[in-house]
A and B are shown apart, each in its own frame.
Chain A
Amino acid sequence: MDFLFESIDPSWVEYWDAMINDWFFVGALIFLALEFVRYRMKGRLSWDIIGDTITNYITLAMFIGINFLVLGGLYYVFVYGSQDFALFDIDTNLATIAICIVVADLLYYWEHRCMHRFNFAWATHSVHHSSPHFNISVAYRFGPMDGLWPMFGTVIMVVLGFHPIVVAFAEIMVQLYQTALHTETIKKLPRPVELIFNTPSHHRVHHGSNPEYLDTNYGGIFIVWDRMFGTFAEEKAPVVYGLVKPINSNNPLIAFFHGIYRVAENVITAKGSRNKLGYFFGPPEFEPDKIAQDRSSH
């Protein structure tokens, strides 16, 4: 068991990070091809699904572009700035990397939950949920500011004392695990797995617009966080994927910017500062104050 505690140079972790991330992308493309064969066999292959898939990868390209141009510098400043305030002196070895992945997963749960419950963050995350389909390409459908919100968790872990490269590795592992869940081909996994881990079944529920499925199953790798914190729902009724108010478009620009446009429009047209704040900081189901609305209609 000694190999668990042997120090690893972070540059190795950086190398694994890049290797796993890149090969996972290749694997996902191969899996996507198999999904299309399955769509064809079931007679479900349509231009809509093909257009949706292309849009997914175009949003990915725009997301990566924004990360490079805007968010990369922010991460550099905050992550390397917070390194000096480390609470603990943490070595890099397999055991501490494993602990970091569990912590990253728990912080991801909260980041993800906040992205669903605050309109200003839902503006960008709703892009990911705007596809009415569910295959691995949807996992690569990102909104413009999706790269910003993980920063809070990143900084918390760096302040704890984990090496920034280990933190990045742990976050990528959580992200890739979730990516693999975007499929309809796997129905249910063995019960102990469904109990502890996030599974395709749990994640289909998360993508559902069915009322009983809204705002559930935020977990990354572990579903125990949802079970503990009261946000879990089991897959029972067939899932209707997408948003409560669908965007009905495969135009990549509409898909990418619809959330920001919606929030900006709501905030600008809302009457009174209370409603404006509600449309910005409130949950997605926020409705403007009735009294204020009445006053405006008179």
Chain B
Amino acid sequence: MPTNKQRIAAVAATAAIVLGGGWLASLISPANASGTDAIAAENTGPVCSQTRQQEPSEKPIQVSQQEEQVQAPSGRTMQVSINGIRNSHGKIYIALFDSAEAFNSYDYDRAVGFKEPPAKEGSLTVDFPDLAEKPYAISVFHDENGNQNFDLSGGYPSEGYGTSHAKSAYDEPKFHQASLKPGSIGIRLHYLR
């Protein structure tokens, strides 16, 4: 029969192994292997005055320009084709992410690229120039009623939406599944109603 000391030590060891296992497994993902975890860590860290200066300003588009200067003068372009747009009402919102954390939590304020072209029935294409050679994930929605919101009704999207590498309307890929290096990608919009 184990003593209480043994029991406490056992529970502590278990917590450490379980959390360590999850952390170790998170290191073995292709997205993190190309350096996105460093950026995610920077974003989660406390914001002191020094880091705030280095941090990109609020407008997302400028972020990608700044990144180009700081870390990647390669200037690659991501060409995004949006397909299956059902009508020409409102705008299409397209957000480009380089951080797993921001993407997985749909934090549009931390998108590194953002476009809002007027909707066009069928398909349209946008370019995100001056990107680094690393994985990015894209999230799209069709703001049909022009209220600048992705409308939900009863928990389900009432406007069209799409994600890079999503396999179906109900597929919610995480960053490592959705991301790709700059190139071209087609994203299909799904309308549930």
List residues of chain A with CB under 8 Å of any chain B CB.
Answer: 5, 7, 86-91, 93, 95-96, 99-100, 102-103, 106-107, 110, 156, 160-162, 215, 228-231
Cβ-defined contact, A103 with B31, below 8 A: no
Is the beta-carbon distance between B24 and A91 smaller than 8 angstroms? Answer: no
B110 within 8 A of A: no
The 10 nearest A-B residue pairs measured at CB? A91-B29, A160-B22, A88-B26, A230-B2, A229-B10, A96-B25, A103-B21, A230-B6, A99-B25, A90-B25
User: Which A residue sits closest to B103, measured CB to CB?
Assistant: A89
Which residue numbers of B lie inside 8 Å of A, CB to CB?
A: 1-3, 6-7, 9-10, 13-14, 17-19, 21-26, 28-33, 100-101, 104, 174-177
Known: A5-B30, A156-B18. A88 touches B2 (CB 8 A): no
Q: Are B18 and A160 in contact (CB under 8 A)?
A: yes
**Would you give the shortest CB distance from A95 to chain B, in whole angstroms?**
5
Set A91, A107, A160: member contacting B31, Cβ < 8 A = A91
Q: Quick check: B175 and A89 within 8 Å, CB to CB?
A: yes
What would 16 A/B residue contacts be, using CB atoms closer than 8 Å? A7-B177, A89-B100, A89-B104, A90-B25, A90-B26, A91-B28, A91-B31, A103-B18, A103-B21, A103-B22, A106-B14, A106-B17, A160-B19, A161-B22, A215-B1, A230-B3
Q: SS class of chain B's interface: helix, strand, loop or mixed?
A: helix
| Shortest Cβ gap from B62 to chain A (Å) | 26
Expressed in whole angstroms, the minimum distance between the Cβ of A56 and any Cβ of chain B is 30
Shortest beta-carbon distance, B72 to chain A, in Å? 22
User: Shortest distance in angstroms between A151's beta carbon and chain B's nearest beta carbon?
Assistant: 16
A-B pair count, CB < 8 Å, reads 84
Docked-complex contact A90 and B22, CB < 8 angstroms: yes
Chain B residues whose C-beta falls within 8 Å of the C-beta of A87 in the assembled complex: 22
Smallest beta-carbon distance B85→chain A, Å: 28
* CB-CB nearest in chain A for B29: A91
The interface residues of chain B lying within 8 Å CB-to-CB of A162 are 22, 25
Does A91 contact B30, Cβ atoms closer than 8 Å? yes
Min distance, Cβ B1 to any Cβ of chain A, angstroms:
7
Residues in chain A near residue B19, CB distance under 8 A = 160
Cα–Cα, bound, A107→B32 (Å): 27
Partner pick for B22 among A88, A215, A228, A230, CB 8 A cutoff: A88
Contact of A89 among B1, B14, B17, B26 (CB under 8 A): B26
Q: Is the CB of A110 within 8 A of B21?
A: no
Cβ A91 vs Cβ B176 within 8 A: yes
A91 CA to B3 CA, complexed, in Å: 39
| Residues from chain A with Cβ under 8 Å of B21 in the complex | 99-100, 102-103, 160
Q: B176: which of A7, A107, A215 is its contact (CB, 8 Å)?
A: A7
Contacts of B1 in A (CB 8 A): 215
- List 16 additional contacts besides A86-B104, A88-B22, A230-B3; criterion CB under 8 Å: A7-B176, A88-B23, A88-B26, A89-B31, A91-B30, A96-B29, A99-B28, A103-B21, A103-B22, A106-B14, A160-B19, A162-B22, A162-B25, A215-B1, A228-B13, A230-B6
List the A side residues contacting B14 at CB < 8 Å.
106-107, 110
* B residues less than 8 Å from A161 (CB atoms): 22, 25-26
Q: Are A229 and B22 within 8 A (Cβ)?
A: no
Give the one of B3, B19, B22 with max A CB within 10 A. B22
Question: Which residue of chain A has its CB nearest to the CB of B11?
Answer: A110
Q: Are A106 and B18 in contact (CB under 8 A)?
A: yes
| Cα distance A91–B33 in the bound complex, in angstroms | 11
Residue of B10, B18, B23, B26 touching A228 (CB-CB under 8 A): B10
Closest chain A CB from B21 CB (angstroms)? 4
Q: Is the CB–CB distance between B22 and A5 below 8 Å?
A: no
Cβ of A264 to closest chain B Cβ, rounded Å: 27
Inter-chain CA distance A106–B44, complex, in Å, is: 30
In Å, the complex CA distance between A1 and B152 comes to: 45
